[in-house]
Structure 1
Amino acid sequence: MFSNDQNIETIGQLVEVIRHYVGLQSEFFKLDIVEKIVRLFTALLMIGILSILLIVVFIFLSFAVAHALAPAIGTPCAFLIIAGGYLAIFLLFIIFRQKWIEKPLVKFLASILMQK
């Protein structure tokens, strides 16, 4: 009673639909991973390029400020003041690295990797 031709055909169709579904799910998973990797690399590349440009701008601004201060206090003192400013900024980043760098980075990565 349970093994007539119609039941066997229905089970065969069900198996084919399940195979197709599993194949589509695996393709979706692969595409989702690729999308997240591409978004992550794009963000990292943009951060890298913008960081390099920002560093170049800061270098030129530093030289401009040092040369502007040089007539008033002397060239060595002007460059020492600029270096001291950068040292202070560096120390602030060390002190507040968790608040300014780690937490935003974790939030950013979580937003990319945990999207549905």
Structure 2
Amino acid sequence: MKSSDTIMQSAGEAYGYAKSYIEQQIEYTKLDLAERISIAISTAVSTVVVALLFLMVLGFLSLAGGFFLAQRLGSPGKAFLIVSGIYALIAILALLFRRALITNPVLSRIIKIFFE
């Protein structure tokens, strides 16, 4: 009887250790996932803030360029049409090369954050 009691006690201890290990692994996974999500969100927020600031600067530079061209050309309409044409050309190029310029770098960054 003593050996069966010892076996049962050892099995109970092993079960307790296994249960504790699994619970700790679940907690670790939760913390790891929370950290990765936090990094991804903070990266996205900081990217949006920097992009908005860049767009503000770009807007003012566009206005300055438009007014400069208006003085040179003598026609504000033509000047701002040229500035708009430049942006249209940039938009078409970005659309044509969107995979290399936008999709691949974003995917690489996200994969790096989650699988680092």
Same topology, TM > 0.5: yes
What is the alpha-carbon distance in structure 2 between the residues aligned to residue 49 and residue 106 of structure 1? 20
How does 1:71-110 map onto structure 2 within 5 Å?
71-73=71-73, 74-110=75-111
When normalised by structure 2's length, the TM-score is 0.92
Which stretches of structure 1, 4 residues or longer, exceed 3 Å deviation after superposition? Answer: none
SS of the equivalent of 1:31 reads helix
When normalised by structure 1's length, the TM-score is 0.92
Q: Identity of aligned pairs, percent?
A: 29
How does 1:1-116 map onto structure 2 within 5 Å?
3-73=3-73, 74-115=75-116
User: What amino acid maps onto 1:32 in structure 2?
Assistant: D
CA-based RMSD: 1.5
Which ranges in structure 2 are unaligned for 5 or more consecutive residues? Answer: none
1:2–1:88: structure 2 CA closer, same or farther, 3 Å change rule?
farther
User: What amino acid maps onto 2:91 in structure 1?
Assistant: F
Which ranges in structure 1 are unaligned for 5 or more consecutive residues? Answer: none
